Structure 1
């Protein structure tokens, strides 16, 4: 019979086997391996199970292994949020034939409140949960992906930690979760500082990269958008992914002619980079095939053999971060860019591939450990530069990132605006606690090949108003509409007033509130293709009510309650109180 442990919240878990040593601390259990066998630890290694009953109408939310995957819905009607589910034929983190996985944490909202089951650490193994039926109820099982590694090859027998929390309050259960995570992955100093604001060259220049156009936008940013601090040299400047590996010094000199004018204009240079991927045919690939993750036959492992081919759709290879020469190379690259060139923010893209499975030089190091080694090297070399991760494995990045993209790429499209809103709001509890969330660029000006109606731009800007976090404009500054210009100015004011995300009261994600200042409360209201409806907003005492975006006063006399109409379809309102 499996050993049983009763947690402080009265949840009773059944430990999977006698090879697991368990330490309990309140509602948290920490696992280590104590078995004598050297049998490989499987990719579905069970830690414990929890029996119970999940109501048919209970709302479930679970994260994905990587940025582009989230799951939301009832047990009988789960849907994927994001364009890149972990079990898709593209990523293949696990097979679509296997049960649905909820990585990192699982949140259940039912008639009794909220139950959160979550991994509080991710040092060596990815953790996930599965739900199965049992007579009279359901079983939630916690697993780690042991990657078929052998215990005697490990440097430690410690596994990971999990917590089970219960609360009647949506925000409280996440606050408790954050506190448990911080015991294993302390918050970074950057979380006490304002998140970055700036302008990105990506999608601001319809196709490709044009340095002259970037410098033209820089002049406008200097003159008209002084509070946008960073200029991000985004994807598109490189010939092929990994071309910076053809020689570090020539790469630095190539960028200097773009970076120096940015610094002279009083702006902070930021650079897009994919640190772990290598393009076929690049000098690094040809000269150092031993630096790459290999297949079982000893040949460099092309990514599309086991997962998504690469960011640009073309197959890539991946650096083996257990190799000391690779660590030295990566350190030199980042150190030159940060210390010699003066890059103050790195947008590190394609981070998912850094955790790709395969044969590495050190057999005892898992893909998660190898990823964290690589990210640790970048941290050491970055000289305090802000590290903004994109397309990243989430929990493997804990404690090592300043910012985290939490949505798929934004495009000027209603479906993507709605999807990114849900993705952002479901991860907004992480903002300023695990990292600054990045809801991707603010895009409010149509391009010749991409655009939508203004009311949908209004929805998009209100999403970024509610979310807070990293704020980068992705519009061409030399062709912005007055609507877009005014929106940026008001969003900057919001970021100055408060760096926090607005808080939703429930998983419906329809009404978020935020204390902007001691005398101003912000209400953000969202409609996701529902019918038009009226909502009553309340204050602690009589106040005036204003439209945040237009500045229009909406009431005639101060009142403690105010009714607002939300239009049908995809729509949003932003209301601010004034004492």
Structure 2
């Protein structure tokens, strides 16, 4: 991977001045000049800003922080003091990956006699109008792109141009408590951006970028900010949350890591993602779940009978649509927070449902929101001392949900944390649910007056999640939702990575669209699909990505929008849950779901991830019995039809290669000549063109797509050619009907499906199509020409 990096980083450390610098030696050029730390804190009733100087070098530490990454080594360990408060800072500078990565870590120690309240630990603050402290990346900051990662699952994530303005919600206290980290600023000016946990800066002009981020959020929520005016300005800090550091106690940041890179493919982010996974010892992943969820058809108007009816339909469809999970979503409990009392529509609770689902050979799943509390719940009335409160004494605002302003548990109250753990233990070990969707997890990390003020918000949430995982047991599948990303690493099996899908393309509320159009975090297909793409690289590096549900039945989504949603979910490789009333699902929509099973599970290269706010170009390389081929996708984000044009260069294909192409949703074929563009018919608004491109190698028979499976090739299990005879085995492990297409050098004179003669039709010169009906055990197709 050395070709990814512009060169090894050179360090320059000036302990007396409190500075260190980093740079690459050769063009393209990257430099951090005179990095200096800043600690914002309160002590003795006053606010202080300390920029440590007069560091002294120490050879070793008694308890050094664990070094992450490969080939890691400490460059320098430096100690400085602020004598009036007795505050000591220990800075550890390190490098990894043969010197291509830089890392640093800061710990604070209260050696005084009075508590110190830590507000912010600034680890990097360069540029703007200080010529001595510069941030240089490429030749022109105006050309930079900024990848903005949102705080939690539903938070807006995308790449923006340097002259753009950050998308902001107009809903203020209704929305922001849910999706915005209070320690990360929201900028109104163009050219000013912020990100949570990590970011990417990239200059397409110079083919040069920078990945910067924290390796975890076990200790603090880390924030990053960048602006281009008046000079490039990069800031990185750990949110101290006004946490109390008592005499004799210590506080440490998470490791911060950065590296410059020199390529514009998905690869630049991969080393960082893999370093984070290694730090959290994330190594293995289960299969992506496939199943049914009650939410988007029934919402909270749910009954046990609804679950039974859909369960029976799933059983009846096992040979056609083999789902394995039945997830009961919100609507069974009397009130959010009162998890052990049930609505009249669930007269026996949910345990009998779990047993019924398990008896059907399926996996029961349950939705819970263990940290958020409805203000009208019995929990809120009976245990007001468990609630997280503001300095005024009023319960915190956890956002507007269930048509009210919700509040949250204070997990530093031992009884509150015990209650949340008890609910998880009950759901898994007494009710019998081995799959839990844990929602609204951010609620445990809201700003407030915690019973224990010595823990940061990140520590409170992390410890809460560790407690829930222990209560659930290692064998339970946990899906995190509404989750700050760094807080659930290594503790959940899957994580939602975008907003709720909803039944409309743009956000709306109670049927009203105009005011809510463009809301960046609200439930809507446009927001869910965007984040599924912009966070695609996280899949099977940090967890299984959950792109939210597929809605097939009648909604405000057009057929083209449903096809886009289905394609993006399939290509994401993540969870696949249908959320319709299956008993009324039209057959033509059922066929869309059938084409997505079995799941591909691999994730695509989002080609324009760092170029466009709404990525439009995807490539997924597949390999099977047929050899190798490519799935190529183009999404029309416009509100008007457009004419898609595919080029070899745009999709990083060999310009000298000719491809035989099948358009999956339109069932059309094309021959894509070497280094020419491929123009398709008009694509509807919000539609997708999904192509399978097969390299044309010789005048030999070749598979050129099908309508049986969205991969358009993984359904072929064997492929054997002997002179003028072909045998192939087709199997997707469930019943299906569709067309299979072949390139044949001569017209076939005999075609059989198992032992039954089969009639086909000529589509294009040498392209023939045959109707195929699959059983659960597949079929063998033979042909002679």
Q: TM-score range by the shorter chain?
A: 0.7 to 0.9
Retained in 2: the 8 A contact 1:69–1:86? no
Where does 1:135-150 land on structure 2 (aligned, <5 Å)? 137-150=231-244
Where does 1:427-576 land on structure 2 (aligned, <5 Å)? 427-446=535-554, 450-493=555-598, 495=599, 498-507=600-609, 508=612, 509-518=615-624, 519=627, 520-529=629-638, 531-536=642-647, 538=653, 544-549=660-665, 552=667, 554-555=669-670, 563-565=678-680, 567=683, 569-576=685-692
CA shift for structure 1 position 134: 6.0
Q: Distance in 2 between matches of 1:281 and 1:471?
A: 34
- Quick one: which of 464, 469, 476 aligns to 1:385? 476
- Could you report, residue by residue, the CA deviation over 1:416-446 in whole angstroms, capped at 9, with x for unpaired residues? 3233221111101001111111111101211
CA shift for structure 1 position 90: 5.3
Q: Secondary structure at the match of 2:379?
A: helix
Larger radius of gyration: 2
CA shift for structure 1 position 156: 4.2
Q: Secondary structure at the match of 2:336?
A: coil
Q: In structure 2, do the counterparts of structure 1 residues 116 and 24 end up closer, same or farther at CA, with 3 Å as the change threshold?
A: same
Correspondence for 1:15: 36
- Quick one: which of 74, 85, 106 aligns to 2:161? 74
- Could you report, residue by residue, the CA deviation over 1:295-329 in whole angstroms, capped at 9, with x for unpaired residues? 446x4x4232xxx4353242333222233333333
Q: Distance in 2 between matches of 1:436 and 1:351?
A: 17
Q: Secondary structure at the match of 1:239?
A: strand
Q: In structure 2, do the counterparts of structure 1 residues 391 and 83 end up closer, same or farther at CA, with 3 Å as the change threshold?
A: farther
Where does 1:17-416 land on structure 2 (aligned, <5 Å)? 17-18=51-52, 19=89, 21-26=91-96, 27-34=101-108, 38-42=115-119, 44-50=120-126, 51-52=135-136, 55-70=141-156, 72-80=159-167, 91=178, 93-94=181-182, 96=186, 100-110=193-203, 111-113=205-207, 114-133=209-228, 137-152=231-246, 156-167=250-261, 168-187=263-282, 189=284, 191=285, 193-205=286-298, 208-225=301-318, 226-244=321-339, 254-296=349-391, 299=393, 301-304=394-397, 308-383=398-473, 384-415=475-506, 416=524
Q: Which has the higher strand share?
A: 2
Q: Distance in 1 between matches of 2:500 and 2:269?
A: 26
User: What is the TM-score normalised by the length of structure 1?
Assistant: 0.88
CA shift for structure 1 position 334: 1.3
Q: Which has the higher helix share?
A: 1
Retained in 1: the 8 A contact 2:109–2:248? no
Q: Secondary structure at the match of 1:254?
A: coil
CA shift for structure 1 position 215: 1.1
Q: In structure 2, do the counterparts of structure 1 residues 385 and 131 end up closer, same or farther at CA, with 3 Å as the change threshold?
A: same
Q: In structure 2, do the counterparts of structure 1 residues 237 and 472 end up closer, same or farther at CA, with 3 Å as the change threshold?
A: same
Q: Which runs of 5+ in 1 are unaligned?
A: none
Retained in 2: the 8 A contact 1:87–1:96? no
Retained in 1: the 8 A contact 2:661–2:672? no
Q: In structure 2, do the counterparts of structure 1 residues 206 and 478 end up closer, same or farther at CA, with 3 Å as the change threshold?
A: farther
Q: Distance in 1 between matches of 2:596 and 2:400?
A: 34
CA shift for structure 1 position 82: 8.2
CA shift for structure 1 position 253: 5.6
Correspondence for 2:768: none
User: What is the TM-score normalised by the length of structure 2?
Assistant: 0.66
Q: In structure 2, do the counterparts of structure 1 residues 525 and 24 end up closer, same or farther at CA, with 3 Å as the change threshold?
A: same
CA shift for structure 1 position 266: 1.1
Aligned length: 560
Q: Secondary structure at the match of 1:425?
A: helix
Retained in 2: the 8 A contact 1:233–1:270? yes
Q: Secondary structure at the match of 1:150?
A: strand
Query: How large is the RMSD of aligned CA atoms in angstroms?
Result: 3.1
Q: Which runs of 5+ in 2 are unaligned?
A: 1-16, 38-50, 53-88, 127-134, 507-523, 695-701, 703-785
Retained in 1: the 8 A contact 2:421–2:467? yes
Retained in 2: the 8 A contact 1:468–1:501? yes
The one of the two structures with greater contact order (alpha-carbon pairs below 8 A, sep at least 6) is 1
Q: Secondary structure at the match of 1:77?
A: coil
Retained in 2: the 8 A contact 1:23–1:30? yes
Q: Distance in 2 between matches of 1:558 and 1:61?
A: 35
Retained in 2: the 8 A contact 1:544–1:559? no
CA shift for structure 1 position 473: 0.4
Q: Distance in 2 between matches of 1:112 and 1:408?
A: 34
Q: In structure 2, do the counterparts of structure 1 residues 261 and 462 end up closer, same or farther at CA, with 3 Å as the change threshold?
A: same
Q: Secondary structure at the match of 1:101?
A: strand
